[in-house]
Amino acid sequence: MSGKRKDDVTGTETTGHVWDGIEELNNPLPRWWLWTFYATVVFSLIYVVLYPAWPVVNRATSGLLGWSTRGDVAAEIEAVDASQASLFASLTEVDLRVLPRNEELYGFAQQAGGAVFRNTCSQCHGSGAAGALGYPNLLDDEWLWGGTLEDIAFTIRHGIRNDEDPDARFSQMPAFGDILERDQIALLTDHVLSLPGGADPAAGEAGQLFLDNCASCHGENAQGDRTIGAPNLTDAIWLYGDTPEQVASSIRRGPSGVMPPWGERLGEAEVRAVAAYVHALGGGEAQVGEAPVAEGAGATGAEPSDPDEVPFAEEAGATE
């Protein structure tokens, strides 16, 4: 039913639409609302001309002003890079053995390295650097390839067991599943699991198996060899798990994790920065002949005017 008329109660003309006896009034929009709407239409027309707006095949129209949020971000990044250029240049050139003595540069390296770690390394080692099964914990003081700043930087720069960098650290544990019998692997598994408790690595039949097959890399004392990345088997730190099944699996298949080289991807300054960050997480070792870094290094005082005046820890990092 339709038919325009004036409403008896309000005196407002109706639209002629009626539903269940309810008539729709033809109330005009307020003038201020209409003018605001018209203004937004004009504003939108001006906006699409001046700013990026219309999508095309692989980008959006740039607008007469050529402005973009991406351009703003790039400009901010460029400004930050320029402000830090001198620090990054110094970090590239500094001798890593004396880096911890330079309060400003060492603090900057740790902050920058933390950002690099969260963006690049946390996917494997975890956001807190505690690692996971097959990925080393960087918070403890056990290092497969050495824990000095120079050792860590070399590992980051060249990686481990990769085909991309000829200087990558490399070692390979044999798959003893193709060498030993099943009962020998079971015997060796129990023996290896007993080593953190103080068992003699060379004791008994299992000890002879260890000496014949494992000692050439892990050492007769089972404490490993950092020159080839052979882990210490007496410290109860298990990269691939500590259950009998996991240890037996490691013996059978000879695990060989791969770490990519980051030297070309990050650049020398960022490699050194993330090395400083990892070194400071709690397990970093001092170089022999390097002044020990006090707790909270990076905010402990001015750099000595003569590095030779700093007392050296001759045996620092030599033992665990």
DSSP state string for 33-68: HHHHHHHHHHHHHHHHHHS---B-SSSB---TT---
Instruction: Report if residue 118 sits inside a domain.
Output: yes
Instruction: Report if residue 74 sits inside a domain.
Output: no
- 259 known ligand binder: yes
**pLDDT, tens only, 169-224:** 999 999 999 999 999 999 999 999 999 999 999 999 999 999 999 999 999 999 99
Shared domain for 276 and 158, answered yes or no, is yes
Instruction: Report if residue 58 sits inside a domain.
Output: no
What gap in Å lies between CA 159 and CA 271, rounded to an integer? 11
Shared domain for 152 and 188, answered yes or no, is no
- At which of 10, 31, 53 does a domain end? 53
Q: What tokens were used for 283?
A: 């397990």
pLDDT for residue 302 is more than 70: no
Residue 309, pLDDT score: 39
**15: three-class secondary structure by DSSP:** strand
- 125 known ligand binder: yes
Instruction: Report if residue 263 sits inside a domain.
Output: yes
Residue 320, pLDDT score: 34
- At which of 227, 253, 279 does a domain end? 253
Give the helix ranges, DSSP H, for the chain: 31-50, 69-93, 103-116, 122-125, 149-158, 182-194, 204-213, 215-218, 244-253, 263-266, 268-279
Instruction: Please list, in sequence order, all residues whose beta carbon lies within 8 angstroms of the beta carbon of residue 203, skipping any fewer than 6 positions away.
Output: none
Residue 26, pLDDT score: 86
> Which residue carries 């003018």 as its tokens?
35
Q: Which helix (H) or strand (E) holds 22?
A: strand 22-25
Residue 86, pLDDT score: 96
CATH number of the domain residue 248 falls in = 1.10.760.10
Shared domain for 230 and 117, answered yes or no, is no
What average pLDDT is seen over the chain?
Answer: 88
Instruction: Please list, in sequence order, all residues whose beta carbon lies within 8 angstroms of the beta carbon of residue 156, skipping any fewer than 6 positions away.
Output: 262, 263, 266, 271, 274, 275, 278
Residue 318, pLDDT score: 34
**Angstrom distances, CA of residue 11 to CA of 5, 57, 157, 202:** 9, 56, 84, 108
Instruction: Report if residue 34 sits inside a domain.
Output: yes
Shared domain for 282 and 139, answered yes or no, is yes
**pLDDT, tens only, 252-264:** 999 999 999 999 9
Total number of domains constituting the chain: 3
Instruction: Report if residue 37 sits inside a domain.
Output: yes
Residue 297, pLDDT score: 44
Instruction: Report if residue 294 sits inside a domain.
Output: no
**pLDDT, tens only, 69-128:** 989 999 999 999 999 999 999 999 999 999 999 999 999 999 999 999 999 999 999 999
What gap in Å lies between CA 255 and CA 246, rounded to an integer? 11
What gap in Å lies between CA 233 and CA 206, rounded to an integer? 15
| pLDDT above 70 coverage of the chain, percent | 89
More confident residue, 304 or 200: 200
Residue numbers of the domain that contains 198: 176-253
Angle at 238 between CA 143 and CA 297, to 5 degrees: 35
- At which of 210, 228, 253 does a domain end? 253
**pLDDT, tens only, 6-36:** 877 787 888 888 888 888 888 888 999 999 9
Instruction: Report if residue 318 sits inside a domain.
Output: no
- 218 known ligand binder: yes
- 17 known ligand binder: no
Give yes or no for a contact between 187 and 269, defined as CB atoms under 8 angstroms apart.
no
- 191 known ligand binder: no
Shared domain for 187 and 246, answered yes or no, is yes
